[in-house]
Amino acid sequence: MLARDTFLQGLKPTLHIAHRGGALVAPENTLEAFRLAVETYRTDMIELDVHLSRDGEVIVAHDDTLERCTDGTGPLAALTLTELRKLDAGYHFSPDAGRTFPFRGRGVRLPTLREVLRAFPALRLNVELKPDVTGGEDVLARLLKEEAALERVCLGSEQDAIAERLVQVLPDACHFYPRDALAAFILALKAGEVPPEDARYSVLDMPLYFGEVRLVDDALLEAVASRGKWINVWTVDDAAEMDQLLREGVGGIMTDRPDLLRQRMDASGKPG
């Protein structure tokens, strides 16, 4: 069985997906956030982002610079893993608009993807490769193979060029649609046309809204399901929207509020 088929096998709506581990409840893209999502909020999947350090380690982080989430400065790619480990990745996190910083000075670090894979050996991950660096896809592919993690990872990029290179090096893995391919698929459906068939991509990670237009509706969900694909919606932090998506039966909800999503899922009485 192909890795992408194994990844999708047994998935049932609606998945609880912690976006960056739950960026509004703990320092994003850290082991602390991931543990909280898994152990407290029973998340089904973690969404995370990766970059390469100067010495070629796969680092879990969203930004290509260090200022927003750590006490460091400058490009992440300019530092080695050893240098990155010295930074405080909980330094700027505040649950109350800057009044308190409960994770500051508590040893929160930028993790490597290898550490995350080993810390949660049974957990599915949605992994976005961020930088458009030639060879980055090879480093990521090699790591996933070394850790025997291909069957529990769906990977890709917002950028079509990076996503296409990932497909080339890991053709049997689960891949999510990049921006342009996703737009072509959605726009065709919304126009009542047959969307372009693209067997490379199995998962639609997509926004709930485009401007003021709500993209997800019953017709879209039916069209996606009929083509054997899966849909996850990001980033949903509003309780009313969560409730509606649960009623509609969307594949997965990506949220920065895994606490609120767990509450709404439990209140709905639906499994998950």
At 51-100, the pLDDT tens digits run 999 999 999 999 999 999 999 999 999 999 999 999 999 999 999 999 99
7 with 174: CB under 8 angstroms? yes
C-alpha to C-alpha distance for 196 and 188, rounded to whole angstroms: 8
* pLDDT score at 269: 80
Model pLDDT, residue 271: 59
CA dihedral sign of residues 70, 73, 76, 81: negative
Residue 231 β-bridge partners = 204
Q: What length is written for the chain?
A: 272
DSSP strand E in the chain: where? 15-19, 45-52, 58-60, 124-129, 153-156, 174-175, 203-207, 209-210, 213-214, 230-234, 252-255
Q: How many CB atoms lie within 10 A of CB 192?
A: 7
Q: Tokens representing 270? A: 């639906």
Cα Rg, the chain, nearest whole Å? 18
Residue 247: φ, ψ to 5°: -65, -40
Strand pairing of 124-129 and 153-156?
A: parallel
Question: How much is the mean pLDDT over the chain?
Answer: 96
pLDDT category, 25, cuts 50, 70, 90? very high
- Which domains are seen in the chain, by residue range? 3-64+113-268 (3.20.20.190)
- Collapsing DSSP states into helix, strand and coil, what is residue 254? strand
- pLDDT tens-digit series, residues 109-127: 999 999 999 999 999 999 9
CA distance 153 to 3: 9
Q: Is the pLDDT of residue 32 over 80?
A: yes
- Gap between the Cα atoms of 195 and 229, Å rounded: 13
HSE of 174 in the Cβ direction (CA atoms, 13 Å)? 27
Each residue's pLDDT tens digit, 153-207: 999 999 999 999 999 999 999 999 999 999 999 999 888 898 888 999 999 999 9
Give the CB-side neighbour count of residue 20, counting CA atoms within 13 A: 19
